[in-house]
């Protein structure tokens, strides 16, 4: 997807579906990514609380994840308070937001990053509404893309491997490329803030998911 050497490497990898059990793990994993995507979407743009009610509990994951207390804390918060916290951390500030929630901005706009995102999204048919096309690097969008890839892994059998490899590639080239430092920045600003706690749990989730993915994928 990015260059010839990477494409060659992708062709040499395989996924052990007996070990991975996609029919059991793909949907719970997609729900985990969907949950974090909603929690970190802008409360100015989305009625997050009502959306959360429609997501099943994240049972059946191949690793531990318990977000019940965090989700309860989130839903108990006043919406105006959530909007204020979100804007103050991620969107506004005298010299820009303290912790930009967009990969491109957080990493100071490295060359090729947005182009790589576009290649991922276009290749797998993931489309953004016009409202969100300018912020394709927003954390909630990247997490929603992972939800999409996991969900498609469950639905497809013929081209399943492409979606499995894409999950690992996107996780390592994007999510783990900036979320650990994003988490550290938030902890320095306010370790007790609700959104900081969400990102801390997200970082653990991604670390566990990447480790699990690596255990199911190998070279020929």
Its domain, for residue 113, covers 23-219
Q: What angle do CA 113, 213, 72 make, to 5 degrees?
A: 85
How far apart are the C-alpha atoms of 42 and 91, rounded to whole Å?
A: 9
Q: In this predicted structure, what is the pLDDT of residue 211?
A: 97
What is the rounded (10 degree) CA torsion for 27, 33, 38, 39?
130
Q: Is residue 9 part of a domain?
A: no
Q: Is residue 86 part of a domain?
A: yes
How far apart are the C-alpha atoms of 162 and 199, rounded to whole Å?
A: 28
- Taking the chain (220 residues) in runs of 10, the rounded mean pLDDT of each run is 47 89 94 95 85 73 90 92 94 87 95 95 92 90 97 87 96 97 96 95 98 92
Q: Is residue 8 part of a domain?
A: no
Tell me which DSSP letter residue 90 carries: I
How far apart are the C-alpha atoms of 132 and 74, rounded to whole Å?
A: 24
Taking the mean position of all CA atoms in its chain, how far away is CA 50? 20
Q: Is residue 149 part of a domain?
A: yes
User: Does an H or E element contain 219, and which?
Assistant: strand 217-219
Q: Is residue 125 part of a domain?
A: yes
Tell me which DSSP letter residue 57 carries: P
How far apart are the C-alpha atoms of 122 and 117, rounded to whole Å?
A: 8
Q: Is residue 15 part of a domain?
A: no
Q: Is residue 83 part of a domain?
A: yes
pTM for the whole structure: 0.91
Angle formed by the axes of helices 22-39 and 68-76, nearest 10°: 30
Task: Specify whether the CB–CB gap between 153 and 26 falls below 8 A.
Answer: yes
CA distances from 201 to 81, 106, 117, 159 (A): 21, 19, 24, 31
CATH code at 82? 1.10.3480.10
Q: In this predicted structure, what is the pLDDT of residue 8?
A: 42
How far apart are the C-alpha atoms of 122 and 130, rounded to whole Å?
A: 15
- What is the number of structural domains in the chain? 1
Q: Is residue 103 part of a domain?
A: yes
């Amino acid at each position: 997807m990015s260059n010839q050497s990477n494409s060659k490497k992708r062709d040499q990898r395989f996924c052990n579906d007996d070990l991975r059990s996609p029919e059991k793990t793909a949907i719970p994993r997609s729900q985990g990514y969907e949950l974090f995507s909603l929690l970190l979407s802008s409360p100015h743009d989305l009625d997050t609380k009502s959306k959360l009610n429609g997501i099943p509990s994240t049972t059946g994951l191949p690793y531990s994840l318990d977000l019940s207390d965090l989700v309860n804390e989130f839903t108990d918060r006043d919406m105006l308070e959530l909007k204020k916290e979100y804007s103050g951390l991620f969107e506004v500030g005298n010299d820009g937001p303290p912790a930009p929630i967009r990969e491109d901005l957080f990493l100071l706009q490295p060359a090729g990053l947005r182009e790589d995102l576009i290649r991922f999204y276009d290749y797998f048919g993931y489309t953004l509404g016009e409202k969100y096309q300018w912020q394709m690097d927003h954390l909630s969008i990247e997490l929603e893309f992972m939800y999409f890839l996991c969900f498609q892994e469950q639905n497809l059998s013929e081209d399943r491997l492409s979606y499995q490899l894409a999950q690992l590639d996107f996780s390592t080239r994007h999510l783990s490329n900036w979320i650990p430092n994003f988490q550290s920045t938030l902890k320095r600003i306010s370790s007790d803030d609700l959104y900081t706690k969400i990102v801390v749990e997200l970082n653990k989730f991604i670390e566990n998911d990447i480790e699990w993915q690596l255990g199911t994928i190998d070279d020929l």
